[in-house]
Chains A and B, each alone.
Chain A
């Protein structure tokens, strides 16, 4: 590089083309490595930012996920049975190597780290998928940028939520599927199966993906080679990809004596949805229009209407692009699985999602972000195909992103702060932290209702007697004054299992006093005269 002043007020800068080419070659040859480094830095910075401003574990669900992982390793009755049946187990299993550490638990990092890796992973699979579609480097990077710079994605990847893990496995599965459509390699089929298997153990969206991909694989082979080969291929794929689902049924049967416990159990989504329906709070059920509109709003608020419009055009161009194999185009429909799944789930009442425009408040609005990789891929395709508009899109992308950052426009964060997905339990957890953390004695509490309080109290999990502690729970709900120094419950709430167990218990009525009444829970403490009869330490025979 040479800089010189050639004439009055003119500076000349010469850049050697060989150097420029070598830099470009280096960038091209190491794009994936550079992407991993850049995205990892963004991911870590994002986590640190939300950790510092204490927004990383606002989601009630995030705290519950962390608590479930913790209960496996530290609890009155630790063990794998603590994985329970409410949520699929993979995210909690992945926490086990790190959740024993108090910092990893209470910072949320134990759960966030998998989201962060998934963030980088999803970005890379978007890149690879676009490369597979013969999209040039610019289009691939735009696709990755649309996903990676989305503020909602950046927030959720900084938390212990499960969406990013699901996105990574789903995007990986779709990528492998598209490659398989080209080479029909049997090993590739097993790789699809592997990613689908993982996704089926993260969220139920994965189960839908499993069904969808199975149908797509069957129809492809059937159309090309006939029934026999289709049957064989599907059996091979489904046996592997569906193994996680089978394991989950088995797990429920072994632990809860009912393979369908996760569907019909008292803490299942179905039970919650029924309660919501009874309260008239499930407006999407059996209303396809409301279900569709609600989900679309969630998708739009998690991304941007302009980006969705561009992605839609990109999708249309792709489907009519005859240079892409028809099989690949069919396979690309798999990218819409999250859309189909969420609309069906809302329609059949298996899921609840509130957007402010329709229901007046936010709840689970983050479901909309599972469509962002799809959007990113089609945008990447658009800027590749319509080359004359690529710099136009790039400028507008920065323009919109600038304003979304300036105004901190993350709807998934708003849902956690002011919507129904978050729970401000500071008063109760603060009281516990101040009065119970350093004192001796157990706290009787329902994890199904108050996991967020347990997490935020900063106390060890083994200080809590909850539904998952077996004999401790049975004993404490029968004779609370022998076991529970404090009782946390939402009085008169039938959904709170502690209240259900104690409402007619004379010991509770006579031996406890109400300390505080808070919006989410009330605190009861044993009267001083009964303190002496309390068990303050775990009993070894009960831990068996």
Chain B
């Protein structure tokens, strides 16, 4: 009973926060309206390609964009055989269709679409909690872990907008959950299915799901050892579960065939159209040299998917993801540092899944450090590391369990956590469009005025333009200033965290779990 109330309270809290911060405006926009200031520049659409594809599928029943949609989708647009098509994998667009349709029914098509991502974010919170609980972490501590991921990391701004990260994270977490909770056979079917879907959502997910896939393969056989021999038993039925990976991939190949005329042509390897002229013809735009190898900036160049990961870029990638002012973990979500500490302890103690978790985190970091554009274009914090934040949150929960009685630690932890919440709530209620520093410097020189690239830009946004929150714009903007709205929301989250940490410190019996 108490457990159900806990779950219900958690669900209500998460729904409330996401409802208060989801970006959007009321209405069902037509294709021609999408490019207007209201929807695009000042509105909720920051990354447009996925919504354009969704809209095209639902409204035009086509993978090829009409001209207004093509204009809307730029710069995430490709041209194949004279047709404008999406530059993204189609997974997110397909998955968000129910949200669009329900939202449209109520006159909130865009909000409904974005809400799908919020639902995945809530699922992720519960998955983190469930995984942590299965790893012998008390439920309150596990809940803190889930909430840290959701509201104290850049996962927050990306839970209220149409991006792939929460879906990718969900697929990773749900695979781990399956391996923890289900029998081998069911778990394997689910893992392979999720593996396939993950590629359908975003190609690099292949690499991030790889450790899970390899781990799952170890469930295919058992090893027994006696004095004389080692016995391997291979269960062929479990091997055959691999077949399910094909189904999502067939769908992806079909999409590629329909969009690019070749099932094996990957979306990231097609040419990019950054602008369309008045006659509807593509305009070639020069690419910033500093991010020239970015997969999101490839102009008329066929590249292999593996060529997108360049080990020489790793140093810059590490700098961007950890230290840089425009994206670094230290700047945007320093609470995750506790996750690394917890992870090292967890690994040293050879706890369950320690190796798998470490692989997921490190491969996530390595992959996106080798990525041509570690900044993630114009974004808020290091968005590519959102799956790693999810696993790190489990490690944070573990560290909190270990050090729950150390008051000095708790004070420092709470201070860092509060800072992380404040920063990411700011991102959530404003905008995720912060330029990389290299680009901001160029823009500053061109515009002859400072173009900010840190969360200061979000502060300016909230001061000058207010908030992109659907709730604030619809119901709150007449009663309260955007700054106050942001401050109340932040304090509300921090207070809940404070209560949970206090509860964790006082009530949880550490000996029972360690």
The residues of A with any CB-CB pair to B shorter than 8 Å are 6, 9-18, 20, 297, 300-301, 304-306, 386, 388-389, 391-392, 395-396, 399-400, 403-404, 406-407, 409, 411
Contact of B231 among A13, A386, A389, A391 (CB under 8 A): A13
A407 touching B229, Cβ below 8 Å: no
B355 touching A391, Cβ below 8 Å: yes
By a CB distance below 8 angstroms, the chain B residues around A392 are 347, 355, 358-359, 362
Contact of A404 among B231, B311, B347, B362 (CB under 8 A): B311
Tell me the complex Cα distance, A409–B236, Å.
40
Smallest CB separation, A191 vs chain B (Å): 38
Among B301-343, those with CB < 8 Å from A are 304, 306-307, 309-312, 314-315, 318
A305 touching B235, Cβ below 8 Å: no
Interface centre among A17, A406, A407 (most CB of B within 10 A): A407
Q: Does B370 contact A (CB under 8 A)?
A: yes
Known: A306-B366, A388-B348, A396-B366. A11 touches B228 (CB 8 A): no
* A-B residue pairs, 7 tightest by C-beta: A9-B236, A13-B232, A404-B311, A11-B234, A406-B306, A305-B315, A9-B237
Nearest neighbor of B240 in chain A, beta-carbon distance: A9
Q: Does B277 contact A (CB under 8 A)?
A: no
Query: Would you list 29 pairs from A and B whose C-beta atoms are within 8 A, ordered by A residue?
Result: A9-B235, A10-B234, A11-B234, A12-B232, A12-B233, A14-B230, A15-B230, A17-B227, A17-B229, A18-B228, A20-B230, A297-B315, A305-B314, A306-B366, A386-B348, A388-B348, A388-B354, A392-B358, A392-B362, A395-B359, A396-B359, A396-B363, A396-B366, A399-B363, A403-B306, A407-B309, A409-B310, A409-B312, A411-B312
By a CB distance below 8 angstroms, the chain B residues around A406 are 304, 306-307, 309
By a CB distance below 8 angstroms, the chain B residues around A300 are 315
Smallest CB separation, B266 vs chain A (Å): 15
Nearest neighbor of A389 in chain B, beta-carbon distance: B347
| Cβ proximity bits B419-457 to A, threshold 8 Å, 1 near / 0 not | 000000000000000000000000000000000000000
Contact of A15 among B232, B348, B359 (CB under 8 A): B232
By a CB distance below 8 angstroms, the chain B residues around A9 are 235-237
Known: A9-B235, A11-B236. A403 touches B230 (CB 8 A): no
Q: Does B512 contact A (CB under 8 A)?
A: no
Q: Does B406 contact A (CB under 8 A)?
A: no
Nearest neighbor of A305 in chain B, beta-carbon distance: B315
Nearest neighbor of B351 in chain A, beta-carbon distance: A388
Q: Does B350 contact A (CB under 8 A)?
A: yes
Tell me the complex Cα distance, A396–B314, Å.
13
Tell me the complex Cα distance, A301–B315, Å.
9
Interface centre among A20, A386, A409 (most CB of B within 10 A): A409
Tell me the complex Cα distance, A192–B283, Å.
67
B228 touching A409, Cβ below 8 Å: no
Smallest CB separation, A120 vs chain B (Å): 25
Tell me the complex Cα distance, A386–B307, Å.
33
Q: A12-B234, A392-B359 are in contact. List 5 more A-B contacts (CB 8 A).
A: A15-B229, A15-B231, A388-B354, A395-B359, A400-B366
By a CB distance below 8 angstroms, the chain A residues around B236 are 9-11
Smallest CB separation, A157 vs chain B (Å): 19
Smallest CB separation, B393 vs chain A (Å): 19
The residues of B with any CB-CB pair to A shorter than 8 Å are 211, 225, 227-237, 304, 306-307, 309-312, 314-315, 318, 347-350, 354-355, 358-359, 362-363, 366, 370
By a CB distance below 8 angstroms, the chain A residues around B358 are 389, 392
B311 touching A409, Cβ below 8 Å: yes
Tell me the complex Cα distance, A9–B306, Å.
37
By a CB distance below 8 angstroms, the chain A residues around B228 are 16-18
Nearest neighbor of A16 in chain B, beta-carbon distance: B229
A403 touching B232, Cβ below 8 Å: no
Nearest neighbor of B230 in chain A, beta-carbon distance: A15
Tell me the complex Cα distance, A304–B316, Å.
12
Known: A300-B315, A301-B312, A399-B363. A14 touches B229 (CB 8 A): yes
B231 touching A396, Cβ below 8 Å: no
Nearest neighbor of A15 in chain B, beta-carbon distance: B230
B229 touching A403, Cβ below 8 Å: no
By a CB distance below 8 angstroms, the chain B residues around A306 are 314, 318, 366
Tell me the complex Cα distance, A107–B306, Å.
32
Tell me the complex Cα distance, A399–B364, Å.
12
Tell me the complex Cα distance, A399–B310, Å.
12
Nearest neighbor of B239 in chain A, beta-carbon distance: A9
Tell me the complex Cα distance, A305–B323, Å.
14
Smallest CB separation, B236 vs chain A (Å): 4
By a CB distance below 8 angstroms, the chain A residues around B314 are 304-306, 400
Smallest CB separation, A60 vs chain B (Å): 23
B233 touching A407, Cβ below 8 Å: no
Tell me the complex Cα distance, A388–B353, Å.
12
By a CB distance below 8 angstroms, the chain B residues around A400 are 311, 314, 366
By a CB distance below 8 angstroms, the chain A residues around B347 are 388-389, 392
By a CB distance below 8 angstroms, the chain B residues around A411 are 312
Tell me the complex Cα distance, A304–B314, Å.
8
Smallest CB separation, B117 vs chain A (Å): 29
Nearest neighbor of B238 in chain A, beta-carbon distance: A9
Nearest neighbor of B232 in chain A, beta-carbon distance: A13
B348 touching A407, Cβ below 8 Å: no
Tell me the complex Cα distance, A96–B359, Å.
51
Interface centre among A11, A13, A391, A399 (most CB of B within 10 A): A399
Tell me the complex Cα distance, A11–B237, Å.
11
Contact of A396 among B227, B304, B312, B362 (CB under 8 A): B362
By a CB distance below 8 angstroms, the chain A residues around B311 are 304, 400, 403-404, 407, 409
Tell me the complex Cα distance, A143–B235, Å.
36
A403 touching B354, Cβ below 8 Å: no
By a CB distance below 8 angstroms, the chain A residues around B315 are 297, 300-301, 305
By a CB distance below 8 angstroms, the chain A residues around B349 are 388
Tell me the complex Cα distance, A407–B307, Å.
6
Tell me the complex Cα distance, A501–B309, Å.
52
By a CB distance below 8 angstroms, the chain B residues around A20 are 230
Smallest CB separation, A155 vs chain B (Å): 14
Nearest neighbor of B350 in chain A, beta-carbon distance: A388
Smallest CB separation, A17 vs chain B (Å): 6
A17 touching B230, Cβ below 8 Å: yes
A6 touching B310, Cβ below 8 Å: no
A13 touching B234, Cβ below 8 Å: yes
Tell me the complex Cα distance, A213–B497, Å.
58
Known: A392-B347, A396-B363. A10 touches B233 (CB 8 A): yes
A11 touching B307, Cβ below 8 Å: no
Tell me the complex Cα distance, A87–B315, Å.
34
Smallest CB separation, A302 vs chain B (Å): 10
Tell me the complex Cα distance, A151–B233, Å.
39
Tell me the complex Cα distance, A411–B363, Å.
23
Tell me the complex Cα distance, A10–B222, Å.
11
Tell me the complex Cα distance, A13–B221, Å.
10
Smallest CB separation, B107 vs chain A (Å): 48
By a CB distance below 8 angstroms, the chain B residues around A403 are 306, 309-311, 370
By a CB distance below 8 angstroms, the chain A residues around B231 are 12-15
Nearest neighbor of A297 in chain B, beta-carbon distance: B315
Smallest CB separation, A401 vs chain B (Å): 9
Smallest CB separation, B271 vs chain A (Å): 21
B310 touching A407, Cβ below 8 Å: yes
Smallest CB separation, B209 vs chain A (Å): 14
Tell me the complex Cα distance, A94–B235, Å.
59
Interface centre among B236, B314, B349, B359 (most CB of A within 10 A): B314
Tell me the complex Cα distance, A392–B350, Å.
12
By a CB distance below 8 angstroms, the chain A residues around B359 are 392, 395-396
By a CB distance below 8 angstroms, the chain B residues around A399 are 363, 366
Smallest CB separation, B125 vs chain A (Å): 27
By a CB distance below 8 angstroms, the chain B residues around A11 are 233-234, 236
By a CB distance below 8 angstroms, the chain B residues around A16 are 228-229
By a CB distance below 8 angstroms, the chain A residues around B232 are 12-15
By a CB distance below 8 angstroms, the chain B residues around A6 are 233
